[in-house]
Structure 1
Amino acid sequence: MTTSTTRTDLTRTVDSYRARRGEIRLVEVPPLRYLAVDGHGDPNSAPEYATALGVLYPVAYALKFASRDRLGRDYVVPPLEGLWSAEDLTAFTTRRDKSAWDWTMMLMTPGWLTDEHVAAARAAVVARKPALPVQLVRVDLLDEGLCAQTLRVGSFEDEGPVLADLHHRFVPEHGLELTGRHHEIYLSDPRRTAPDRLRTILRQPVRRAHEGS
């Protein structure tokens, strides 16, 4: 067994994990692998949201420790991310109807870890905590490609105007169309950070308008 002396910060190796407040920019996001759990409803009150986080993190840390102890490659567990969607986009931008939201909560995993490593991590978690529904955790390869994104500093409740500006001004002004699901990357821990200081990357996959014709 070998021991790594340094920990890789995966978010520092990918340009699309950099964003500035008040600036919307276009980025090319490479294909990335995630541990993922799906759900529906208000994240502040839906029991399945708490369940999703309660199973994602144990699997993620079991995977990290296995990588460190067995492969000699340690890394920082990346920040929580979420894909969000609704039949009516105004549920995000104006009405903020959280009960209508579908979501996928995610934690990025290094490319050197395989599905077999993830299966072993699930098994390790079950051995310690048999009641945890680790079967909810799957591995996703997310290939978003071209995206528009910005850094939002402030409460999650105040994101609506920023998203409306991205959707209704930036995207059409640059000859783009919305494609995939709204994506958020939570750079701050809301348990330890005041709401007005929360840092969140807001990302929207897009395509050139002529590509959709």
Structure 2
Amino acid sequence: MKSDFKKEIETYTAPGGKFEVVTVPAMRCLMIDGHGDPNTSQAFKDVLATIYPVAYKLKFFSKGELGRDYAVMPLEALWWSDDMDSFTSARDKSQWNWTAMNMVPEWLTQEHFDAVVNAVARKGGAPALEKLRLEPIDEGLCVQTLHIGSYDDEAPVLDTMHHEFIPANGLRMIGKHHEIYLSDARRTPADKLKTILRQPVTHIGK
């Protein structure tokens, strides 16, 4: 049976037009760090040309060698900046730091990852392979919503999340802004893009 974690893990869905407080389970992801505007940064293009070949190679390894098939998960990214207003008002993407990610099943080990990376390296064409790692992520309590539309139209939603919903519910932000890209931006009109916007939080006083 083929696993589809987008359906099995509840926090890979979110309501549109409102915020919800959720507890995100711990998981492991392929990760690559970078800096700068994702629209113009060669580093971000190199990330996409690296994460997907490894993600699909892992899938086929799992299916062929372990007998466990699954759907490759969507691209995700953590975003942060010294000035968080660069996300909600100025939208100065040149100041953004990011970690591009792709979730992988818990049954795939570091040894499996290393073997697949070596295979991809032999084939060539994955320009950021030396920066790729497999690491756990455990965000726990989070606020999230589904944004439908252009990435550039996220600012008002994030402003409301950060400055209204989170403090009004006795919460404060911790960790990094997280986005999950449910749509393929190469094939989807900007006004139809579906993105989960997520912010780790904790209760005020903790």
The TM-score normalised by the length of structure 1 is 0.95
Q: Does 1:184 align with 2:186?
A: no
Tell me how far apart the structure 2 counterparts of residues 181 and 199 of structure 1 sit (CA, whole Å).
Answer: 20
User: How far does residue 18 in structure 1 lie from its aligned partner after superposition?
Assistant: 1.2
- Which residue matches 1:98? 93
Q: Does 1:49 align with 2:52?
A: no
Cα pair 2:15 2:146 within 8 Å, conserved: yes
Tell me how far apart the structure 1 counterparts of residues 187 and 31 of structure 2 sit (CA, whole Å).
Answer: 24
Tell me how far apart the structure 1 counterparts of residues 166 and 42 of structure 2 sit (CA, whole Å).
Answer: 35
1:109-158 per-position Cα deviation (integer Å, ceiling 9, x unaligned): 00110000100110110111166341211012000000000000000010
Helix, strand or coil for the counterpart of 2:98? strand
Tell me how far apart the structure 2 counterparts of residues 145 and 158 of structure 1 sit (CA, whole Å).
Answer: 27
Counterpart selection for 1:139 from 134, 141, 157: 134
Whichever residue aligns with residue 203 of structure 1, its letter is R
- Which residue matches 2:190? 195
Helix, strand or coil for the counterpart of 1:7? coil
Helix, strand or coil for the counterpart of 1:11? helix
* Divergent runs of 4+, >3 A: 130-133
Give the number of equivalent residue pairs: 206
Counterpart selection for 2:65 from 41, 51, 70: 70
Helix, strand or coil for the counterpart of 1:196? helix
- Which residue matches 2:151? 156
Whichever residue aligns with residue 52 of structure 2, its letter is Y
- Which residue matches 2:30? 35
Tell me how far apart the structure 1 counterparts of residues 67 and 75 of structure 2 sit (CA, whole Å).
Answer: 24
Unaligned runs of 5+ in 1: 1-5
Unaligned runs of 5+ in 2: none
Whichever residue aligns with residue 25 of structure 2, its letter is P
Shift in alpha-carbon separation, 1:21–1:131, aligned structure 2, 3 A: closer
Cα pair 1:10 1:76 within 8 Å, conserved: yes
Q: Does 1:18 align with 2:13?
A: yes
Helix, strand or coil for the counterpart of 1:56? helix
1:62-119 per-position Cα deviation (integer Å, ceiling 9, x unaligned): 1111000000101100000000000011100010000000000000000110000100
Tell me how far apart the structure 2 counterparts of residues 54 and 138 of structure 1 sit (CA, whole Å).
Answer: 15
Shift in alpha-carbon separation, 1:116–1:172, aligned structure 2, 3 A: same
Tell me how far apart the structure 2 counterparts of residues 170 and 133 of structure 1 sit (CA, whole Å).
Answer: 38
- Which residue matches 2:162? 167
Identity of aligned residues (%): 50
